[in-house]
Structure 1
């Protein structure tokens, strides 16, 4: 009777290591949760908690001094049917976003393309262009902007040298909002740096091959740069849209907190501030805040839906 010998299967490779003891896995999980506690505490105390309280207050009549009184959806009904300033603030903010975000991204991309050509002293230029973004939203910059575009400001003084009588840019309802758009575009440094990083990731061989095929600079930019940079463009677009809808400080400082002249700079967030902290209608201000959350969420969702048509990811 012959013995049957079992030959090990070498192709199968080494045997997998034995599973870690259950006690060790529990200990590792406990350590992970322990490190997460500070973040979870901050999230609950400073984000989730205030959001839930705000959602509750949006259905109340609350003046910051007395106990909130439940009124259901009355704040929302008043907002959409009997509040002309709500619609004005929404109109002003939408116009501001539609004008400032595309201009800022175009300007940032143009400067990034120029800096990507390997200019001497590029680090200095990059720092200089990024510097205004460091002060974005600051009170000092808004005060400076009010002086620059005032009736006797720097802009009108320069125009006077050419014999042109400049308008009172900030005091004129037809031009006041556009001064804030210019301020937003001037702070293009943050998206510019991101564009520059994206341009550095495009292989130079693509441009060399296109040049050998006879493609000019414009054709190379349209057919190579924009498609390969589209994820970065989309990233900047989403961030700048969200940031623009939340703009507050420039309008508050330039208009002295009124949103004037004639509510031409009445940003949505400025109106929310007025209702909550000047008119002491915190319940109504909370409802305004949640409508803004829905608007930003809807705009972001639309961007993600349409991004499938023009954003190209490398596989």
Structure 2
């Protein structure tokens, strides 16, 4: 009962309140608000910025999830080798994932700074000028994606590594005795057996990317080309607009997307590969 009370007070009550706020034309701090029903939803989906926000969210999510999983799988294969130094390498790879997103964003801002940054210094040494990472919308999105993938690929690598180490040795040894090379064993046996791990990472990474905020806020405070749904909700409520009702509407749209992702997880999570 105490747990249910806490969940109701700090999870479901704010959720229901946010649904109600999304039906209001309310300026943050104003003591009054007018009911507009679904007006905020109509405004969002008919706004010329909606396509850009949804497109940015889709690009950021797809690239970060795909990049983190692919690179994480490749790194896990290297970490699974029985050589010296793998314990230190595993710790080094996983370390960025547990670091503060604000701290990571500030460090990488210094690296990407077109005037004083480390990358600009290297490019000047090669006779090249540094791109305007922050001012160019496309480059700003690329910059944030690179940093987010760097920060999160360690999580995918560790989870994939756990999956690789739990594969049945008798199956892998039988394939090796039958003459299957390392590439063939991975493509035909190991990767299909990793399907539960892949599906788990796909769902968790999708949910995490859709809620990514700290790196975007720190590295691109104005959201120049990096306005995802969650960052757009923040800007509408706490930026120059103070449109709390409209911000709540964007939050509800994001909630529906996250709920759909969670539903997929609950629907397909039982489709596991059994090793026994």
Q: Secondary structure at the match of 2:185?
A: helix
1:214 matched to 2:214? The reply is: no
1:46 matched to 2:10? The reply is: yes
Runs (4 or more) in structure 1 with deviation over 6 Å come to: 303-308
Q: Given that residues 140 and 220 in structure 2 are in contact (C-alpha distance below 8 angstroms), is that contact kept between their aligned partners in structure 1?
A: no
- Residue of structure 2 aligned with 1:146, choices 102, 109, 114: 109
1:135 matched to 2:99? The reply is: yes
Q: How far apart, in 2, do the equivalents of 1:312 and 1:62 lie? A: 47
1:253 matched to 2:230? The reply is: no
- Residue 306 of structure 1 and its aligned partner are, at CA, apart by 7.8
Q: How far apart, in 2, do the equivalents of 1:174 and 1:280 lie? A: 27
Number of residues of Structure 1 aligned to a counterpart in Structure 2: 271
Pairing 1:130-279 to 2, within 5 Å after superposition: 130-135=94-99, 138-152=101-115, 153-187=117-151, 188-256=153-221, 258-260=222-224, 264-278=225-239, 279=241
Q: Given that residues 148 and 215 in structure 2 are in contact (C-alpha distance below 8 angstroms), is that contact kept between their aligned partners in structure 1?
A: no
Pairing 1:270-289 to 2, within 5 Å after superposition: 270-278=231-239, 279-289=241-251
Q: How far apart, in 2, do the equivalents of 1:204 and 1:249 lie? A: 42
Q: Secondary structure at the match of 2:156?
A: helix
**TM-score w.r.t. length of structure 1:** 0.80
Choose 1 or 2 for highest CA Rg: 1
RMSD value, Cα: 2.0
Kindly provide the CA deviation profile for residues 141-171 of structure 1, in whole angstroms up to 9, marking residues without a partner as x.
1111111111021112222323333312222
- Residue 183 of structure 1 and its aligned partner are, at CA, apart by 0.6
Which residue does the alignment assign to 1:87?
51
Give unmatched runs, 5+ long, in structure 2. none
- Residue 68 of structure 1 and its aligned partner are, at CA, apart by 3.2
Which residue does the alignment assign to 1:28?
none
